[in-house]
Amino acid sequence: MKARELPIKELIEKLREEHTTLPATIDDAVITYKTGNLSGAFPVIAEVRETLSQHIIDEEGVLLKFLIDKIGKDASEPYIKILQEHTKIMKLVEQSVESTYTGWTETENDLNTLKETLAEHHKQEETVLYPKVVSLL
C-alpha cells in the first residue's frame, strides 16, 4: 500500500471524510455481531483495518513529510506525537480482529474502545494537525 497521490487539500478532505465514516463502519461490525453473525463481522473489521492502514500511510507519508520539509523535525514534534497514536490504534484494530475468534464479549469491548480512541485521535488531527498543514500550503 502506498500513499494516495492527491493534492494535499483534497487528501485532507478525504481523510476528514474517513473520520466521519469509520465510526459508522465500526457500528456496523457491532450490529452484525449482535445479530449473531460472528463470521459476518470479520469482513467489516477487515474493512476498518484496510481503511485505517491507508489513512495512516497518507498522514505519515504525505502530511508528516510535508510538515518536516516545511518547518523541520523539531518544530514538527507536536504533530509527530499525534501521529504516534497510530501504533496504539492499529493494535486495537488487531485486537478486534483476533477477538473475533474468541468471542463476542471481547470483540464488542475492543470495538468500543477503538471507536472511542479514534474519536479523540481524529479530534486532535482535525483541530491541530490538519489546520497546521493547510496554513503552510
Whichever domain contains 46, its CATH number is: 1.20.120
The answer to whether position 131 is within a domain reads: yes
The answer to whether position 21 is within a domain reads: yes
Q: How many independent structural domains does the chain possess?
A: 1
| Highest mean pLDDT of the ranges 40-44, 107-111, 124-128 | 124-128
Mean pLDDT of 19-39: 84
The answer to whether position 49 is within a domain reads: yes
- Rounded Cα distance, 84 and 68, in Å: 15
Instruction: Please report the pLDDT score of residue 66 as a whole number.
Output: 97
The answer to whether position 121 is within a domain reads: yes
Task: With a cut of 90, say whether residue 89 has pLDDT above it.
Answer: yes
> Could you tell me the three cell numbers for 112?
468500543
Share of the chain above pLDDT 90, in %: 65
> Could you tell me the three cell numbers for 97?
480482529
Cβ proximity of 133 and 83 under 8 Å = no
C-alpha of 34 from chain center: 24
The answer to whether position 2 is within a domain reads: no
The answer to whether position 3 is within a domain reads: no
Residue type for 47, please?
E
The answer to whether position 111 is within a domain reads: yes
What average pLDDT does the structure give for the chain? 90
Q: What angle do CA 91, 107, 95 make, to 5 degrees?
A: 15
Distance linking the first and last C-alpha atoms of the chain = 26
Domain that holds residue 105: 8-135
The answer to whether position 35 is within a domain reads: yes
For 46-77, write each residue's pLDDT tens digit: 888 999 999 999 999 999 999 999 999 999 99
- Give the DSSP letter string of 95-122: HHHHHTTT-HHHHHHHHHHHHHHHHHHH
| Residue 60 DSSP symbol | I
Task: With a cut of 90, say whether residue 111 has pLDDT above it.
Answer: no
Would you say how long the chain is, in residues? 137
